[in-house]
Structure 1
Amino acid sequence: MFKLFVYLVLFAAYAISSDKVEVYATTIDTKDNIIKAEGEVVVIYKDYYLSAQRAVYDRNSSELELFENIRATQGENIKLLGEYAKLNIANKERTFMPFYMFEDKSNVWLSGAKSYSKEPNVDIKSGITSGCDPNNPFWKMEFSSADYNTETMWLNLYNARIYIYDIPVFYTPYFGYSLDTTRRTGVLPPMVGYSDKEGFYYEQALFIAEQNWWDLELKPQIRTNRGSGLYSTFRFVDSRVSKGSLTAGYFKEKEEYFLENELANKKHYGFNFLYENSDVINQWFGTNFKGQSALYMDIVNMNDVDYINLSTNDTTENATTTQLLSKINLFYNMNDNYIGAYFKYYKDLNLDTNEETLQNLPALHYHRYIDTLLKDHFLYSLDVKSNNYYREVGKSAIQTDINIPLTLQTSLFDEFMHLSYGSNIYAQHTNFRGDVKDLSIDEYNNGFFARHDHLITASSQLTRAFDEITHTIDFGAQYQLAGSEFEDGYYEEQKDYCSIKENRTEDICEFYNISDVKENLQLYFSHYLYDISGKQVFYHRLSQNISYEDVEGGAEELENELDYQITDNINFYNNMFYNYDENDFSKNFNKISYVNSSFNLGLSHMYKNSFDITDPESEISYITSSLKYKYDKHYSYNFKLDYDLQRSEKKSFEVGFLYQKRCWDFGLTYLENNRPILNQYGESDSVYDRYIYVTIRLKPIMKPDGGLSGFMFRLPDKSETN
């Protein structure tokens, strides 16, 4: 908007000599080449208006001078520019004393003693800027000089001092700020914090965006008691169908901190590469195939979890696992056929080496979509997948699965009942290579497995519409019968041993993934209620499997799922499994939420039990709760608690408030977080951190999604480790 008003004066002045300009005043006097206008002078150029008390124009020098209460107007927008303005039309120079500018989109005003401009730059001498009410601003930034580029809309302030009311709180020799949202190179606002263990934290980001298709963000940081490091992210858009990013970082611990905290590594480093292309074959090879092709890459590597923990000062983004997965997915999809290739690479940060970790490089996949014969009564499809399981040390294998489902279907009683018979042909072949790690195990033999099983289904779906509700019922039964099987080699030799659940963790069984098809009957019932607008109000489903195996037969777990929109604001969801043998629930998940314009409340509880007495982690009981309350347009409050009931351990806790005004925000939050680390013994450990986070956001120069918007103070740990 400032650019608009600078050009406004330029256009009007230029128009005096070359375009139509209307000048209105109480009196106009012309002598020689001097034109004088006095008394409510108005200069009109196109849809722009300039007003002043007096104006003088010299045709010889092409200088236009405006005096007293100068305003520039477009529509209803009025901007006070100053008491004196001098414009040299020939040289395109402009001087204002004093100078005032208001940018209405960001609500930022700037006032200076004097300004001089020559396209496209404007220089301003000693002034004040703020986003608050000019009469009594909550915050203001004073500067000794400033410059503004009307093309890039970038404002630079020098020797800037930030005041809260009249109290100085921060000084910086330079501060740059954009008056629009265009990407450009510049120094981003810093991040600061303090911890009694890590000391003062300071991160100064540099953003480089010299071209439209890429940008680079460099984030050097220092933690005075702990060490220093550098993280960077390179983002690019290399075509209309592809984009990617590369994030890398390095942090070095100080010797004293490294030894005192018994860390596994003195240096933390890693990278993450992301890339996606939604038309990769046509773009890379210059083809014009009609099918859809795509490539997705997510490659990650690091030496420990502290690489993630140190990448940010945000306590909510700590790493939660020591298992890394890198993957590359490539596929080509047609109307009838699908071809894919998937690469997966696993890394366990707890291991010194991953040479014995089994990788999947690659998995090749072909799928033939469902097709029909006999007027849609006969359905068939084909699925083939070959996995190359590879490791540097130990046994590797190429394992291929073939699945051919065949279905014959019809309907009876005017389509009230649907019947189908399914015949599924499944085969797997495994070809081994590599050495055996356990010398007590005989050499693996290649093997082949084939099976033919059957599925009979009877179902019905009924729908009835009432005045304000529609009710749909869906119920049926599926009977599965194991047919003939054939095994040889590895499958025949290891079937009896690897079919036992307790033996599945043994090396000899890691490639045995055949699950038995049991003769069973599945009964299911579900019903839905929809309101007059078509929105789901109620959903309920029951599912019961009954096994007819001789030894392990009987009723399996009963599943119940319920989703009930009690009111427009209240929703309840439940999913539970009941185990008849244990007379107990193996899983019970409940969640209730309440959402309106002021409240956002969520409370959930997860309970799981595998009933394995040898596993101390077999029983899980976990509660998650969150509350956000907006009292009015100024005050909002938040609360969050994650608690492990089984361990009687708090996982995370947060409580705080935020006060918002047009030009500033203030917030105070207390946080607790159970942060994982890797110690020098190669074991996963955790540290329970406590923080106080103070938010002071001066709008619009500080944005909610980043920048200098808060200060974090880390409280002393309750214990060294948890």
Structure 2
Amino acid sequence: MLKVLVLFILFIPYLSGDDKVEVYATKMDTKDNVVKAYGEVIVVYKESHLSAQRAVYDRNSGELELFGNIRATQGSDIKLLGDYAKLNIANKERTFKPFYMSEQTSNVWLSGSKSYAKDDNIEITSGVMSGCNPSNPLWKMEFTSSEYNTNTMWLSLYNARLYIYDIPVFYTPYFGYSLDTTRRTGVLPPIFGYSNNEGFYYEQSLFIAEQNWWDLELKPQIRNQRGSGIYSTFRFVDSKVSKGSLVTGYFKEKENYFLENNLANETHYGFNFNYDNSDFINEWFSAKLKGQSGIYVDINDMNDVEYINLSTSDTTLTSTATQVISRINIFYNNDTDYFGAYFKYYKDLTQESNEKTIQNLPSFQYHSYLSTLLKEHLLYNLDVKTNNYSRSVGKSAIQTDINIPITLQASLFDEYINISYKSYLYAQHTGFKGEEEIPTSDEYNNGLYARNSHSLSVSSQLTRAYDKFTHVVDFGSQYIVGGTETRDGYYEDQKDYCSQNIHKSEDICEFYNISDIEENLNLFFSQYVYSDDGQQIIYHRLSQNISYEDANGGVGELENELEYKITDSINFYNNMFYNYNERDVSKNFNKMSFHGYGFNIALSHMYKNSFLPGATKTNYMTSSLKYDYNKHYSYNFRYDYDLQEDYKKSMEIGFLYKKRCWDFGLRYVENNRPILDQNGVSDSIYDRYIYLTIALKPIMSSDNRSSDFVYRIPDSSEGN
């Protein structure tokens, strides 16, 4: 112990400040200006700790040399190995021969014949990199030279050759990769694919993040038999309360593909702008308003649906609705009032022109929150909303709605019975503008409609606790009756015609949205069962409407809703409507799910029938299954089928095998996606794909499917 202390004292005078080196050893010799240490030598330099069999320190040159079984740690994540190391303290240089480094956070190791380091940079000569077991790595990258920055954790390999076991599969003159999750500029892993119809698919993303508040992702793609294009995503955070993104894309079809597939457009382009600010009034105008303000922007535009289909190699990840909505929502809210302005623009992707589509630009709303009088026995509020419905071709209108509900409530018999009376005051005014597409004799006179209606509710809620669960029952009735009403202009002219369901879709009835208040009685019953730890086991609700009107008198649809947590793993949900007049179910949705023992299963079915002439039924089934056999193997299956139209919407089956340093998977996918042809007719294409996943971790990931190789199976219609 005395020798160790003496050696430590001898080294200190020749080192100063932050460059201080502490050396510990069990034996030492000193001759001239050279100090030799033997035995278990330990060196502490800044955040590095080194151990070796012997060490030599030259006081003249300031160089410290280490020999034999060198082990080093730098910080908490980097470990180094070698047989020879030299530290030049004055020049802050370090040399290892041979060199081995293990980065613990990313599980990546590097091995080279020699390394030279100065400050935060390490240069490695002729080596290997991998994320697998060093003794027999499944994959590795050999390189002629490499650079690694211990501060930014960015690794650059030059003349890199990728090997699967000992088989060379890929070469690149440069490969850069970050060993941490910090956003930085770089090239992302490429995506490959092949389609008999579209040819070879290649997408290479470039990620640019030069500043903390924004980043840009460029995704050029090539489909060698179809065409090429580029998509980009720009993301930004402009304040603590706001963020946004801009997605753009452009794709140019090759002439042969365009003509053979009878597409509507030879080029496909579009954009999406999204922005969210949760306190824009105070931030933009330096105000100090109490309450909350917000602005939400979601603007979309594209020339056809192929812009969406071409945005990714996996069409199952895209949403291809026939209508695209752009919106801007602005609001200010405090304890008593709410002010809102909404802008909605609709684009029908099944139509060549959007000039006949009704837009809502803008809509204004004022809402006065619930106020009370008479010790909270009297409640009232106000809601006013104005909609500007406009379009280039056809009639437009400005429509204003006013709602004033007034409630008188009380509890009786020690709160066993709750009663309430509510009066609804409602008015709507419509002012028309523009001309009909084809002049008609229909009357579009400005109109005013006003009415009041009444409801009386009686209800009760009972709760009882048992040993292992608690039962809550809520039941009651609500009687609704219309009061007086007045109407003129449009509402008087079209009262009899537009109130009939068969005319709802006609032009003259587009703005007639008045529903008569029928005298009716609504009976409702609900019950809850909670476990002793507060978890909901059963939720059950029944609702029955009884109408007393002569024209449509009778019993309305019976609604039954049930959610039952059968076990900790099994859950069942049902929502059903029964129509007595049709003696049939008008809506029935069922979903059963199971989670446990490695399984995650969901099965659902939706049936809906409005019983209106010409209306299409909805009869749709979805199912999914995922099974994690163990930590390595997982299997998945998905099947969606339209029972009404008798066609398969989508299907997927596959597996994924995961290891520490690599994943391998195979998926077969079928997907029905919409297109627009040259005649402006909406059509669909049924795609069949095989996805091969090979993820070399950590430089690739199977979670975001960037490691997928895609092969599109030719359809019989393609002549194959």
Do they superpose with TM above 0.5? yes
Quick one: distance in 1 between partners of 2:716 and 2:541? 46
Quick one: distance in 1 between partners of 2:209 and 2:18? 39
Quick one: distance in 2 between partners of 1:706 and 1:305? 23
Name the residue aligned to 1:95. Answer: 95
1:177 CA displacement: 0.7
Using a 3 Å threshold, how does the CA distance of structure 1 residues 366 and 135 change in structure 2: closer, same or farther? same
1:505 to 2:505 alignment: yes
| 1:515-534 superposed matches below 5 A | 515-534=515-534
1:479 to 2:479 alignment: yes
Quick one: distance in 2 between partners of 1:236 and 1:456? 53
Name the residue aligned to 1:83. Answer: 83
1:611 CA displacement: 2.0
| 1:331-370 superposed matches below 5 A | 331-370=331-370
Name the residue aligned to 1:6. Answer: none
1:255 CA displacement: 0.5
Q: Return the letter of the residue paired with 2:670.
A: E
Quick one: distance in 1 between partners of 2:358 and 2:572? 42
Q: Is the 8 A contact 2:67 2:84 kept in 1?
A: yes
Quick one: distance in 2 between partners of 1:213 and 1:74? 30
Quick one: distance in 2 between partners of 1:18 and 1:569? 59
Name the residue aligned to 1:676. Answer: 674
Name the residue aligned to 1:111. Answer: 111
Q: Is the 8 A contact 2:14 2:59 kept in 1?
A: no
* Residues 581-638 of structure 1 deviation map (CA, whole Å, 9 limit, x = unaligned): 11110111111110015000011111111223433xx222211110000111111100
Name the residue aligned to 2:655. Answer: 657
Name the residue aligned to 1:710. Answer: 708
Q: Is the 8 A contact 2:309 2:320 kept in 1?
A: no
1:507 CA displacement: 1.2
- SS of residue matched to 1:350: coil
Quick one: distance in 2 between partners of 1:203 and 1:21? 50
1:57 CA displacement: 1.4
Stretches of structure 2 lacking an aligned partner (at least 5 in a row): 1-10
Q: Is the 8 A contact 1:13 1:87 kept in 2?
A: no
| 1:551-700 superposed matches below 5 A | 551-615=551-615, 618-700=616-698
Segment drifting more, 386-395 vs 628-637: 386-395
Name the residue aligned to 1:63. Answer: 63
Segment drifting more, 379-388 vs 345-354: 345-354
Using a 3 Å threshold, how does the CA distance of structure 1 residues 314 and 601 change in structure 2: closer, same or farther? same
1:67 CA displacement: 1.3
Using a 3 Å threshold, how does the CA distance of structure 1 residues 336 and 73 change in structure 2: closer, same or farther? same
Q: Is the 8 A contact 1:127 1:144 kept in 2?
A: yes
Q: Return the letter of the residue paired with 1:313.
A: S
Using a 3 Å threshold, how does the CA distance of structure 1 residues 32 and 354 change in structure 2: closer, same or farther? same
Name the residue aligned to 1:4. Answer: none
Quick one: distance in 1 between partners of 2:457 and 2:257? 65
| 1:24-173 superposed matches below 5 A | 24-44=24-44, 49-73=49-73, 79-173=79-173
Name the residue aligned to 1:372. Answer: 372
Quick one: distance in 2 between partners of 1:52 and 1:291? 66
Q: Is the 8 A contact 2:442 2:508 kept in 1?
A: no
The alignment yields a C-alpha RMSD, in angstroms, of 1.9
Quick one: distance in 2 between partners of 1:591 and 1:531? 22
* Residues 49-68 of structure 1 deviation map (CA, whole Å, 9 limit, x = unaligned): 32112211122221111111
Q: Is the 8 A contact 1:455 1:479 kept in 2?
A: yes
1:720 CA displacement: 5.7
Segment drifting more, 377-386 vs 14-23: 14-23
1:41 CA displacement: 1.7
Quick one: distance in 2 between partners of 1:14 and 1:180? 37
1:75 CA displacement: 9.9
* Residues 183-216 of structure 1 deviation map (CA, whole Å, 9 limit, x = unaligned): 1111111111111110000001111111010000
Quick one: distance in 1 between partners of 2:223 and 2:78? 48
Name the residue aligned to 2:6. Answer: none
1:12 CA displacement: 11
Name the residue aligned to 2:314. Answer: 314
1:529 CA displacement: 0.0
Name the residue aligned to 2:272. Answer: 272
Q: Return the letter of the residue paired with 1:216.
A: L
TM-score by length of 1: 0.95
Quick one: distance in 2 between partners of 1:442 and 1:49? 90
Quick one: distance in 2 between partners of 1:75 and 1:240? 32
Using a 3 Å threshold, how does the CA distance of structure 1 residues 15 and 710 change in structure 2: closer, same or farther? farther
Using a 3 Å threshold, how does the CA distance of structure 1 residues 131 and 392 change in structure 2: closer, same or farther? same
Quick one: distance in 2 between partners of 1:397 and 1:610? 28
- SS of residue matched to 1:353: coil
Segment drifting more, 530-539 vs 343-352: 343-352
TM-score by length of 2: 0.96
Q: Return the letter of the residue paired with 2:635.
A: Y
Name the residue aligned to 1:415. Answer: 415
Q: Return the letter of the residue paired with 1:697.
A: A
Q: Is the 8 A contact 1:441 1:508 kept in 2?
A: no
Using a 3 Å threshold, how does the CA distance of structure 1 residues 414 and 516 change in structure 2: closer, same or farther? same
Quick one: distance in 2 between partners of 1:436 and 1:315? 40
Segment drifting more, 138-147 vs 473-482: 138-147
Quick one: distance in 2 between partners of 1:13 and 1:264? 82
Name the residue aligned to 2:261. Answer: 261
Segment drifting more, 22-31 vs 662-671: 22-31
1:22 CA displacement: 4.0
Using a 3 Å threshold, how does the CA distance of structure 1 residues 614 and 80 change in structure 2: closer, same or farther? closer
1:80 CA displacement: 3.9
Segment drifting more, 80-89 vs 666-675: 80-89
Using a 3 Å threshold, how does the CA distance of structure 1 residues 708 and 324 change in structure 2: closer, same or farther? closer
Segment drifting more, 173-182 vs 26-35: 26-35
Corresponding residue pairs, total: 709
1:31 CA displacement: 2.3
Q: Is the 8 A contact 2:446 2:490 kept in 1?
A: yes
Identical columns (%): 69
Using a 3 Å threshold, how does the CA distance of structure 1 residues 327 and 247 change in structure 2: closer, same or farther? same
- SS of residue matched to 1:316: helix
Name the residue aligned to 1:538. Answer: 538
Name the residue aligned to 2:425. Answer: 425
Using a 3 Å threshold, how does the CA distance of structure 1 residues 73 and 350 change in structure 2: closer, same or farther? closer
* Residues 402-454 of structure 1 deviation map (CA, whole Å, 9 limit, x = unaligned): 00000001111110000110000000111112122231234521111100100
Quick one: distance in 2 between partners of 1:14 and 1:120? 23
Name the residue aligned to 2:177. Answer: 177
Q: Is the 8 A contact 2:673 2:684 kept in 1?
A: yes
Q: Is the 8 A contact 1:205 1:218 kept in 2?
A: yes
Segment drifting more, 437-446 vs 168-177: 437-446
Using a 3 Å threshold, how does the CA distance of structure 1 residues 286 and 78 change in structure 2: closer, same or farther? closer
Q: Is the 8 A contact 1:688 1:718 kept in 2?
A: no
- SS of residue matched to 1:197: coil
